[in-house]
Amino acid sequence: MKKPRIIARLDIKGDNVVKGIRFEGLRIMGNPNDLAKKYYFEAADEIIYIDTVASLYGRNNLVDVVKKASNSIFIPMTVGGGVRNLEDAEKLLESGADKIAVNTGIINDKSLIKKLAQKIGSQALVISIHAKYRDHSFWEVFIDNGRESTGIDLKDWLKYVEGEGAGEIFITSIDRDGTEMGMDRLLLDTVKKVVKIPVIYSGGCTGYEEIIDLVKLYDIDAVAIGSILHYKKDTIKDIKLNLKKNNILTANNL
């Protein structure tokens, strides 16, 4: 059976890991390197770093953060925020990133997905999507870390990016981000029905009970967790232990 990956999500602004609710009212959670190390030693399967203001300022701040992290963290690292071209992606890969996450950059230049897939390989290309529920199973795609609407229908966008060579989808529900209200199951189900490539779900996770549900009901590939880890309401180690008690195996990598 497939092992769902439990991923720690670090949203970064400047020198800090931050967390808001629906991407607003950001609060400082701590130092990126300290938190990444903590989650690494708690048996995270991956770490996702997102520079939350990169697209706004037109640059990615994470090269130094990732370089530093690669001295002490030996699990896959996905890095995104402000990737606008091949050079940005390659610079991050050369600094220790294993996968690149792109969002705003590919909406601005739709030919970039194919170029990236050919250059760095689909296995290293994660498409990050921030979706906001509108109505009647219609989700709108947002860019600039949830600040700008695009008018694009999520389902159309998913099909497009998969066809262009995306390796993985990293989907965040804007409505649930930081709320700890529970994940958007309708969104999760919708994404899963549209694409075949692996999907990382994020936004609103309440804890291990919910993850167990999602694995059983939707056979999810991966979940990315921020709030409940940063606010110390749960640990990756405990989440994995509780999944195991419910006969759900995760990577044994502690």
Partner 1 sequence: MNKNVSIIKTNSGNIFNVAKAFEYIGSNVQLVSSKKDLLKSDYLIFPGVGAFAEGMKALENNDLNYSIKEWANKERPFLGICLGMQLLFECSEEFGFNKGLGLIKGKVNKLPESLKLKVPNITWERLYHGSPESTCHDNKDKVFKNHDFEKDLYFVHSYACYPQNNKSWLATTKYGDHNFCSVVKENNIYGFQFHPEKSGNAGLKLLEEFLKL
Q: Return residues touching partner 1 (CB under 8 A).
A: 2-3, 5, 40, 43, 45, 70-72, 74-76, 93-96, 98, 121-124, 167, 196-198, 251-254
Nearer to partner 1, 74 or 138 (CB): 74
Q: Can you read off the two tokens belonging to residue 186?
A: 């309708």
Nearer to partner 1, 28 or 254 (CB): 254
Provide, rounded to whole angstroms, the least separation between the CB of residue 134 and partner 1.
Answer: 31
Nearer to partner 1, 72 or 149 (CB): 72
In degrees rounded to 5, what are phi and psi of residue 32?
A: -55, -45
Nearer to partner 1, 70 or 179 (CB): 70
Provide, rounded to whole angstroms, the least separation between the CB of residue 237 and partner 1.
Answer: 13
Nearer to partner 1, 109 or 238 (CB): 238
Nearer to partner 1, 104 or 250 (CB): 250
What are the angstrom distances between the C-alpha of 171 and each of 12, 59, 220?
17, 22, 12
Provide, rounded to whole angstroms, the least separation between the CB of residue 136 and partner 1.
Answer: 30
What are the angstrom distances between the C-alpha of 186 and each of 86, 133, 137, 200?
34, 10, 8, 15
Write down the residue that tokens 């170029």 correspond to. 115
Provide, rounded to whole angstroms, the least separation between the CB of residue 183 and partner 1.
Answer: 22
Provide, rounded to whole angstroms, the least separation between the CB of residue 90 and partner 1.
Answer: 9
Name the strand (E) or helix (H) holding 143. Answer: strand 138-143
CA atoms of 150 and 160, how far apart (whole Å): 15
Provide, rounded to whole angstroms, the least separation between the CB of residue 163 and partner 1.
Answer: 16
The answer to whether 205 and 227 have CB atoms below 8 angstroms apart is yes
Question: What single-letter amino acid sits at 89?
Answer: A
How far out from the chain centre does Cα 63 lie? 18
Tell me which DSSP letter residue 168 carries: E
